[in-house]
Amino acid sequence: MAIFNVTSETINQAANCLKKGGLVAFPTETVYGLGADARNAEAVKRIFAAKKRPENHPLIVHLANIEQLSDWAKDIPDAAFKLAQHFCPAPLALILKKRPEVDYAVTGGQDTIALRVPNHPVALELLRKFGDGIAAPSANRFCRISPTRAQHVADELGDDVEMILDGGACQIGVESTIIDLSGSVPMLLRFGQITRRELEAVLQTQILIPDAIVQSNVRTAGMMEVHYAPTTKAVRCENAVLNEFIKTESQKIGVLACGSKISATKNCKIFTLPSDPVAYAQGLYATLRELDGLKIDLILVEQPPQNEAWQAINDRLSKATHYVESIIDD
C-alpha cells in the first residue's frame, strides 16, 4: 500500500519522487490530484496511462504561488492578476496562453495552459519543496468519480502511483472553478465553489458560459456526456417521486437524500447529506463511491435545490445521473 502519513520527511520523499519522474497523489482543498513533474513529458505521459485518459485532454499545472504564473504563461491579462491576487491560493484554475517551451504533453496539444495555486497546506508544502509546477488531474480513472480521500486513490489507482500523501478528507469536495482568460472575453469552463458572480464582482465584467463547448475542439472538464459517473445505474428525481417509488420497489436501491428524511424500506439503503451546499459538496463523492460499492441495482439521488449556491453540485450530479420525472420499472 502506497499511502503515506504527512510528515516533512514524506513530503521531501514525494518531492524527490516527482523529480525522478514518479507519480505522487496528494490532497488539495477540492479533490486529490495525481501529480507529476510538469516539465517532464515522460512523467506527464505516465499520468495519462495511469488514468487511462486520452492524451488530448489537458492537465492543470499546480503552482506554489502566483509569482510562478509567468513561468508557464505568456501575455497574461490584467484580469488574471486581479483574480489571482484576490482569490489565490484557491479552488480556481486560470486558462492562459502557454509559454512556447511548455510541452504540449501537459496541455493536450493546446496553446493554452490551466494554472492553479491550491489552498491546501500539504499541496503547498509539496509544491514549495518541489520548486516548480506539478501537473495534476484528479486522481481517478478517466470518467470516474474524483477521489476525496487517500483511500479512494489507493482503491482506484493502486500500484500505478508511487506515493499517496494522506491529507484526510478534502474540505471542498468538488473540483475547482475553471475560467478561460486566453481569449477576448472571459469564459467559465467549469462550475466550482467560487461562483461566476464572485468572479464577475472582482473583474467588473461579464463572464460567458459557452454552451457549444461539447462540439468545439477544446475538451474541457465535465463537459463530456459521461463524467464523474458511478458504475451502478443512477437517476435523479424530486423527493415526491423518490418516496413514491421506494414504497413499492423490489430492486435493491441506494438513496442519496438531500437533507430530507426518507424512510428506509427493506430493499432500500438511505444516505443523507446535509441541505447546506458546502457540507453536501464535501460528502458528495465519498457517498457516491459508497453507494456504488453496495452492489445494488439502482442509485436514486434526490434533486437538490437549483440555485447558484448549488450550481457546482448540480453540474456534477447531471454528469453522474440522469434526471427523471417518474421512475418506470424495467
Does 171 bind ligand TXA (CB under 6 A)? Our answer is no
Cα–Cα nearest to 25, from 40, 10, 36, 12: 36
At 32, give phi and psi (nearest 5°): -75, 140
Least CB distance from residue 161 to Mg ion, whole Å? 15
Residue 28 is a binding residue for Mg ion (CB under 5 A): no
How far apart are CB 202 and Mg ion at their closest, in Å?
25
Length of the chain: 330
Q: Which DSSP state fits 111?
A: S
Minimum distance of ligand TXA from residue 67's CB (angstroms): 19
Residue 81 identity: F
In the region spanning residues 206 to 265, those forming contacts with ligand TXA, defined by CB under 6 A, are 218-221
Considering only 68, 110, 112, 138, the residue that binds Mg ion (CB under 5 A) is 138
- Give 140 or 311: the residue with its C-beta nearer to Mg ion: 140
Q: Is residue 28 near ligand TXA by the rule CB under 6 A? A: yes
Task: Give the contacts of 180 (CB within 8 A, at least 6 positions apart).
Answer: 95, 112, 186, 187, 188, 189
Residue 60 or 241: which CB sits closer to ligand TXA?
Answer: 60
Query: Of 65-73, 136-144, 244-252, 284-292, which part binds ligand TXA (CB under 6 A)?
Result: 136-144
For residues 299 and 147, what is the distance between their CA atoms, to the nearest angstrom?
19
Choices 132-140, 248-256, 294-302, 322-330 (CB under 5 A): range interacting with Mg ion: 132-140
Partner from ligand TXA, Mg ion, none binding residue 28, C-beta < 5-8 Å depending on class? ligand TXA
DSSP 128-185: HHH-S-EE--BSS-TTSPPPSSHHHHHHHHGGGSSEEEE--S-SS-SPPEEEE-SSSS
* Residue 108, C-beta contacts closer than 8 angstroms, at least 6 positions apart: 55, 56, 57, 58, 59, 219
- Please answer whether residues 213 and 220 qualify as being in contact, where contact means their C-beta atoms are separated by less than 8 angstroms: yes
Number of residues interacting with ligand TXA: please give it, by CB under 6 A. 29
Contact with ligand TXA (CB under 6 A) among 40, 68, 112, 232:
112
The C-alpha cell that represents 68 in the structure block: 510562478
Q: Which residue is nearest to Mg ion (CB)?
A: 138
Of ligand TXA, Mg ion, none, which one sits near residue 176, judging by CB under 5 to 8 A according to partner kind? Answer: ligand TXA
- Residue 27 beta carbon to Mg ion: minimum distance, rounded to whole angstroms: 15
Nearest to 142 by CA among 218, 222, 214, 212: 222
Q: Which residues here bind ligand TXA, judged by CB under 6 A?
A: 28, 30-31, 33, 57-60, 91, 93, 95, 107, 110, 112-114, 116, 118, 136-138, 175-176, 178, 189, 218-221
Q: Which residues bind Mg ion (CB under 5 A)?
A: 138
